[in-house]
Amino acid sequence: MDQKMKNSEFHKFFIDELKDLYWAEKALVKELPKMQKAATSKELAKGFEKHTAETEEHIATLEKVFESIGEKASAVKCEAMAGILEEGKSIIEDTKSDTLTRDAGLILAAQKAEHYEIATYGTLRTFAKHMGHTEAEKLLSQTLENEKATDVTLTKLAESFINEGAAEE
Ligand SMILES: [Fe+2]
Ligand SMILES: [Fe+2]
């Protein structure tokens, strides 16, 4: 990367946003096991378990992204994800355990987190593309696809039996 690129405002902005995302993933990986524990159905609990492992992978992938552009991985608090996770906690408090309403609420909270990730990865991989950071673009796109797949899985789960069950409670 040439010096001009490295000093550009756009490049600095890109790095700041990566730090934000790194914080978000690290915060999420701590909350997902709590959501797993709070889930009523084993299907949703399994889903959270799977995405915890995937989120660990996202963190490692972001570390590679930092490395690919010669930056040290560091986290800066992401207020948006902090808020989404805060909301997730209150959804658990506001719903009864062993109900499908709890699961419907957990899916809502999880999808808010996934959509935030999808928006962020989508934008940052496009930034990477325009800056010629081919490796970073590839890595960010890889995680983006996993976030999208997770979102689809959550929708399918909600529509398969959770929303219907919740409606009968
Ligand atoms: Fe993620
Ligand atoms: Fe995710």
For the segment 39-50, what is each residue's pLDDT rounded down to a tens digit? 999 999 999 999
Centre of ligand 2 from the C-alpha of residue 169, in Å = 29
Query: Domain of 87?
Result: 8-167
**Does 3 reside within a domain?**
no
Centre of ligand 1 from the C-alpha of residue 164, in Å = 28
Q: What is the pLDDT of residue 64?
A: 98
CATH number of residue 83's parent domain: 1.20.1260.10
Q: How many domains does the structure of the chain reveal?
A: 1
User: Which ranges of the chain have pLDDT less than 70?
Assistant: 1-5
Q: What is the pLDDT of residue 7?
A: 74
Centre of ligand 1 from the C-alpha of residue 146, in Å = 8
In the predicted model, what is the mean pLDDT of the chain? Answer: 96
Strand runs (DSSP E) across the chain, as ranges? none
The ligand whose atoms approach the alpha carbon of 50 most closely is 2
Centre of ligand 2 from the C-alpha of residue 55, in Å = 6
Nearest-angstrom CA–CA distance, 61 and 117: 14
**Which pTM does this prediction carry?**
0.94
**Does 79 reside within a domain?**
yes
**Does 119 reside within a domain?**
yes
Nearest-angstrom CA–CA distance, 73 and 18: 9
| Tens digit of each residue's pLDDT (9 = 90 or more) over 111-136 | 999 999 999 999 999 999 999 999 99
Question: What one-letter code names the amino acid at 140?
Answer: L
